[in-house]
Structure 1
Amino acid sequence: MHVGREDIEWADFIFVMEKSHKKKLAHKFGSAIKARSVVSLDIPDNYEYMDSELIAILKRKVARYFA
């Protein structure tokens, strides 16, 4: 999936798996990303798309932001 400026402007929270993803977003979107909460979940980006283990980890880590 590709992220566009519209996605950044729409989001209240932006979750990334690794700190390197956060850096890439900051580089690509500059000032638009500064107005958003970007949260690194510290999950290694070595899972396959829709991996059941990854989904469980994501649900657990993201839940605290919506409790």
Structure 2
Amino acid sequence: MSLTELLPAVRTLSRADKLRLMHFLVIDLAQEEGVPLLAADTEYPIWTPLNAFEAAETLLQMLETHKAEA
């Protein structure tokens, strides 16, 4: 089946089915590319700006420098 034949069928899917299809395609493409996928029931650390006081101070200094130059 070609993409031109497939697209009209995809457009008739419900929102939930479109999301399932998208999920399937992302996993399939990641596997083809050898990209490791996130494992279920696993915690992954992420950075958050919450309580990042040093970053806030650096940004404030940059803004003040930019304001003084302008």
TM-score by length of 1: 0.27
Higher gyration radius (CA): 2
Higher helix share: 2
Higher strand share: 1
TM-score by length of 2: 0.27
Greater length-normalized contact order (CA 8 Å, ≥ 6 residues apart): 1
